[in-house]
């Protein structure tokens, strides 16, 4: 049982949140209200314009806050060159003095984030690029020399100084797939994000057991982040078993703000602070 889960705000940086100044204000208010983190979606195509770039905005949030954990949730490596993500992450991590978490995954193409630009949209290709790219990012953060000739990337770098702050990685998962679970077990956390429902405690417990079967040591620190809506500030009653989710292994609750919520209601949710377990 995790008796002290942490609480974050999880939102898309577009539509009402497409103004980076609004996002910085939201993060500052979230920190003042007692939230532990702010995490931004990463998309380039949507019907809800404008769109703010998550990495640029995260740098501004890092500069404006003191204690919040922050990061993209999630950045698809197959859509961004992994060496550029490594440099973005390095920059934000140093600005935030070690408060960055990199959420990553295969991404989705439902709005055309891949196909609109001629990027590979096939799931198998995106998954292979994710695995290969993640290894490259970690090597760069560690300051290792890189001589890599892979199926998707060719990278040749001399050794450098390692990052001054460790950069944790959370792996996104839309389903309890053994390959995804195995990939996540080698990371610092998992963000299970099914597209058709909010997770129940039993599902979180199943994910925890699957991770252990995949080789995650029981005593290694590992985050399970669950998203949904539990704030009492919403205009309708929410019935979320936060205690049950925490008992099942949830370490982070991400309160989801979605782009069709009125901005003033979203800010009211932020100002209300984290829901109680």
Q: Which helix (H) or strand (E) holds 264?
A: helix 263-272
Return the pLDDT at 1: 56
Return the pLDDT at 196: 87
For residue 2, cis peptide bond before it (omega within 30 degrees of 0): no
Domains of the chain: 6-272 (3.20.20.30)
- Residue appearing with tokens 């935030």: 96
Contact call for residues 38 and 61 (beta carbons, < 8 A): yes
Return the pLDDT at 195: 85
Q: What predicted TM-score, i.e. pTM, was given to this entire model?
A: 0.96
Block means of pLDDT (10 residues each) for the chain, 277 residues, are 88 94 98 98 91 97 98 95 98 98 94 92 94 98 98 98 98 88 96 92 96 95 97 88 97 90 93 94
Pairing of strands 75-76, 69-72: unpaired
Distances (CA, A) of 80 to 43, 62, 66, 152: 11, 21, 28, 12
Dihedral of CA atoms 110, 183, 125, 177 in degrees, nearest 10, equals -60
Contact call for residues 12 and 258 (beta carbons, < 8 A): yes
Return the pLDDT at 277: 86
């Amino acid at each position: 049982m995790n008796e002290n889960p942490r609480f974050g705000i999880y939102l898309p940086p577009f539509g009402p949140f497409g103004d980076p100044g609004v996002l910085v204000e939201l993060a500052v208010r979230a920190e003042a209200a007692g939230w532990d983190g702010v995490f931004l979606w990463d998309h380039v195509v949507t019907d809800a314009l404008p769109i703010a770039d998550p990495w640029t905005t995260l740098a501004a949030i890092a500069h404006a806050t003191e204690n919040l954990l922050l990061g993209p949730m999630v950045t698809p490596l197959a859509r961004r060159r992994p060496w550029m993500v490594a440099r973005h992450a390095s920059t934000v991590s140093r600005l935030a003095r070690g408060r960055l978490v990199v959420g990553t995954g295969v991404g989705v193409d439902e709005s055309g984030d891949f196909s609109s630009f001629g990027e590979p949209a096939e799931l198998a290709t995106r998954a292979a690029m994710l695995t290969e790219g993640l290894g490259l990012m970690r090597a760069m953060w560690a300051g290792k020399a890189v001589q890599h000739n892979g199926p998707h990337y060719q990278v040749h770098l001399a050794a450098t100084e390692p990052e001054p702050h460790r950069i944790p990685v959370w792996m996104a998962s839309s389903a309890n797939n053994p390959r995804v679970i195995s990939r996540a077990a080698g990371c610092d956390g998992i963000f299970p994000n099914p597209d058709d429902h909010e997770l129940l405690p039993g599902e979180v417990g199943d994910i925890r057991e699957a991770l252990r079967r995949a080789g995650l040591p029981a005593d290694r620190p590992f985050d399970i982040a669950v998203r949904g809506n539990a704030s009492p500030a919403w205009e309708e009653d929410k019935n979320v078993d936060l205690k049950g989710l925490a008992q099942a292994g949830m370490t982070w609750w991400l309160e989801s703000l979605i782009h069709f919520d009125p901005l003033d209601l979203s800010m009211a949710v932020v100002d209300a602070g984290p829901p109680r377990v």
